[in-house]
Amino acid sequence: MSPDPTIADLGEQRLLALLQSFCPAQVVGDDAALLLPTPGHQLVVTTDLLVDGVHFSDRTTPPHAAGWRAVAANLSDLAAMGASGLGITVGLALPPSCPVAWVEQLYQGMVDCLAPYGLAIVGGDVCRSAQRAIAITALGQVQLGQAWRRSTAQVGDAIVATGSHGGARAGLALLLDEAAHYPGLAQLSPAHRAALIRKHQYPQPRLDYPRHCATLQTRITAMDSSDGLADALVQLCRDSGVGARLQTDAIPLPEGLSLTQGTMEVESHPGLIWPLDWALYGGEDFELILCLAPGPAQKLCDDATLTPPARIIGHITPQRGQNSVELIFPR
Amino acid sequence: MSPDPTIADLGEQRLLALLQSFCPAQVVGDDAALLLPTPGHQLVVTTDLLVDGVHFSDRTTPPHAAGWRAVAANLSDLAAMGASGLGITVGLALPPSCPVAWVEQLYQGMVDCLAPYGLAIVGGDVCRSAQRAIAITALGQVQLGQAWRRSTAQVGDAIVATGSHGGARAGLALLLDEAAHYPGLAQLSPAHRAALIRKHQYPQPRLDYPRHCATLQTRITAMDSSDGLADALVQLCRDSGVGARLQTDAIPLPEGLSLTQGTMEVESHPGLIWPLDWALYGGEDFELILCLAPGPAQKLCDDATLTPPARIIGHITPQRGQNSVELIFPR
């Protein structure tokens, strides 16, 4: 075997054995995996298909990070439903030329992202393909009738962000050597640069929130910010038939970025300056956007056990016209 | 828009709306789908990734059949666990040049395969890709502790096939114009040819069996024959630590094929003649291979409500050496 063995060198049986070494022993070897949901709970299912060159690339995403991010995106969808996790299945399409080390690191990244939540890969499939692709289905559960939806926000609700926004986009810019276009990025300390790159490569799904919020015993409307903070709010408003007023200076930014750095005017949004555009539209931060009554919202923000702390970034207003989200800028 | 619109013509929003039109209204629009398992049941999960050119091709599989087969393969895995279905999720990777009609027919095929079991597509994802790929995860449930495994066969068990084998491979041969190599195929009537092609394009998953077998109240060891009847038996024997004696003339063949047609000796298996090689090694027939005590096995075979009837094709023997499955030929 060559010093950098490929999938073709390994052969199907040994590839399967390698992948199974990342799964709990009891789920290996039958036609399907078995899981035991808790009585009185609904099953929550979400699925994602990630393709090489579209969702990950060797240029910005080492295989360990690609595996982590793929799992994080799915766990984030479970969190957005107020669910806890049960496990994931992984379908893997690989060209024969794919290095074995790439697959090992991919699976290690998945397992490392799952481990803090006591979750595992419970099933899978692997096949030959011209292009690398990863299909993940995450399974979770939520107490019957307690799932968080997008359609239940009410006028007067506080809008809460569970963490900073814009960091994943900033990390990508650094990885793509775009820093020259953004003086604020170019001037960052090495530690801040590393932290932003980590936000792109190793986002933290907020699967800690459903458990935290259960104690509040209040109606929660939720969505994750995987497609951007602004997109999440627009969808929440549309599905709930309400509007939103967003206090731009209340949006938490990652360390190293601040609104006062802003110098560039964004053409498509006159008056919207960098890095606020990344915070609103960058996406892939995988935080949660929650709408809940102001009292419980404040309680959540005062919870010192949440890292980073939750922040109220605006309020739900009566339905407006075409622009459901109104941006309020500091004077 | 051109007369044959593509995914690129349609745009992402309208593509999503199109796909959602194949899903029940209540599952559309949140981060994840919600399902309610029956209390006292375990969740059964199986996943498959299918890639254009490897698992389906425009030459042998129209999109409607590709969708049907993809779903049938997953439902067959649920059936092999003794489970009933809850629903499926679908991840779809499509090149921008993919015709919209292809996607519509693919989804119609999936929905048509699910419908007889009261099942639906409950979630999904769609993304851009150079190569078409379909990721399916099927969810089912089985009464706690009642799942069928591969490792529980006992010496003396009867081996039951739920239907004929070799038909899917014969249908593929007809589609690939291989009939000239197999005189028996070339002589078939148009009706028999059509039926064999149907077995390749529209296999019937045996999700009817778990319910039928529940009334037998007996230990059942099971696997589906998606990778071939012989492969299923070898795996059952290995996992159960037993051997098997297979009565070759008892294996049901599809209408139009019979052992007496056999004329060609298969090089790799001296003495093994066509079409028996297809019945043993062809695969993709998606029947179940069950091992159970002879009494209940006979009862199953006498059940006139099962179409086609179940057939005892052999017996479980003590563990043998390397060749766990012994083929018995009629004299």
**pLDDT tens-digit readout, B316-328:** 999 977 788 998 8
* Residue found by looking up tokens 């495994």 in the block: B149
- Mean predicted confidence (pLDDT) in A13-24: 89
> CA B197, CA B181: separation in Å to the nearest integer?
17
Query: Which one of A23, A27, A30, A50 makes the best mutation probe of the B interface by having the most chain B beta carbons within 10 Å?
Result: A30
Is the confidence at residue A32, as pLDDT, over 90? no
Looking at the predicted structure, is the pLDDT value of residue B261 above 70? no
Lowest mean pLDDT among A280-284, B11-15, B166-170: B11-15
Contacts by B255-263 with C-beta closer than 8 Å and gap 24+?
A: B255/B164, B255/B192, B255/B195, B256/B170, B256/B188, B256/B189, B256/B192, B256/B193, B256/B195, B256/B196, B257/B166, B257/B167, B257/B170, B257/B184, B257/B196, B259/B330, B261/B184, B262/B184, B263/B183, B263/B184
State the pLDDT confidence band at B222, using cuts at 50, 70 and 90.
very high
Q: Which band of pLDDT confidence, cut at 50, 70 and 90, is reported for residue A293?
A: very high
Give yes or no for residue B194 having a pLDDT over 90.
yes
A77 touches chain B (CB under 8 A): yes
- Across the beta sheet with A33-35, what order do the strands follow? A33-35, B41-51, B133-143, B84-94, B121-128
Looking at residues B110-139, what average pLDDT do you find? 93
* Contact criterion met (CB < 8 Å) for B45 and A89: yes
CA atoms of A66 and A69, how far apart (whole Å): 5
pTM of the model: 0.90
Q: What is the predicted pLDDT for the residue at B4?
A: 86
**Distances in whole angstroms, Cα of residue A322 to Cα of each of A245, A248, A277:** 14, 20, 20
For domain B158-328, the CATH architecture is: Alpha-Beta Complex (3.90)
Cis peptide before A330 (omega within 30 of 0): no
Confidence category of residue A31, pLDDT binned at 50, 70, 90: confident
pLDDT of residue B266: 44
* % of chain B at pLDDT higher than 90: 69
Report residue A266's pLDDT band, with 50, 70 and 90 as the boundaries.
Answer: very low
pLDDT band at B6 (very low <50, low <70, confident <90, very high): very high
Residues of A in contact with B83 (CB under 8 A): 32
Decide if pLDDT at A13 tops 90.
no
Task: Tell me how many residue pairs between chain A and chain B have CB atoms under 8 A apart.
Answer: 199
Q: Tell whether A36 is within 8 A of chain B (Cβ).
A: yes
The band of B220, judged by pLDDT with boundaries at 50, 70 and 90, is: very high
A10-143 and A158-328 have identical folds: no
Residue of chain B with shortest Cα separation from A147: B34
Note the pLDDT of residue A331: 66
Nearest residue of chain B to residue A47 (CA atoms): B124
ipTM (interface predicted TM)? 0.86
Reported confidence tier of residue B264, pLDDT bands at 50, 70, 90: very low
Query: How many helices and strands, by DSSP H and E, does chain B display?
Result: 11, 11
pLDDT higher than threshold 80 for residue A313: yes
For A35-73, what is each residue's pLDDT tens digit? 888 989 999 999 999 999 888 888 888 999 999 999 999
Domain ranges of chain B: 10-143, 158-328
Of B51, B137, B224, the CB nearest to A31: B224
Please give the pLDDT value at position A170.
Answer: 94
The hierarchical CATH code for the domain B10-143 is 3.30.1330.10
Task: Please give the mean pLDDT across all residues of chain A.
Answer: 90
Q: Do A32 and B126 touch (CB under 8 A)?
A: no
Answer whether residue B269 shows pLDDT above 80.
no
CA A59 to chain CA centroid, Å, is 20
What is the band of B330 on the pLDDT scale with cuts at 50, 70, 90? confident
At residue B270, does pLDDT exceed 60?
A: no
Residue A83: left (phi > 0), alpha (psi -120 to 50), or beta? Answer: beta
User: Which whole number is the average pLDDT over A239-266?
Assistant: 82
Residues of A in contact with B142 (CB under 8 A): 34
**pLDDT greater than 90 at residue B12:** no
Q: What is the pLDDT of residue A204?
A: 96
| Predicted pLDDT at A183 | 75
- Per the CB < 8 A criterion, the answer to whether B133 and B93 are in contact is yes
Rounded to whole angstroms, the Cα distance separating B124 from A49 reads 9
Q: Are B236 and B214 in contact (CB under 8 A)?
A: no
Q: How confident is the model at residue B273 (pLDDT cuts 50, 70, 90)?
A: confident
Q: Average pLDDT of B174-188?
A: 85
Q: Sort strands B311-317 and B158-161 into parallel, antiparallel or unpaired.
A: antiparallel
Mean pLDDT of chain B: 90
Question: CB–CB of A98/A130 below 8 Å?
Answer: no
Each residue's pLDDT tens digit, A187-233: 889 999 999 999 999 999 999 999 999 999 999 999 999 999 999 99
pLDDT at residue A260 greater than cutoff 80: no
Min Cα distance A80 → chain B (Å) is 7
Inter-chain residue contact B29 with A239, CB threshold 8 Å: yes
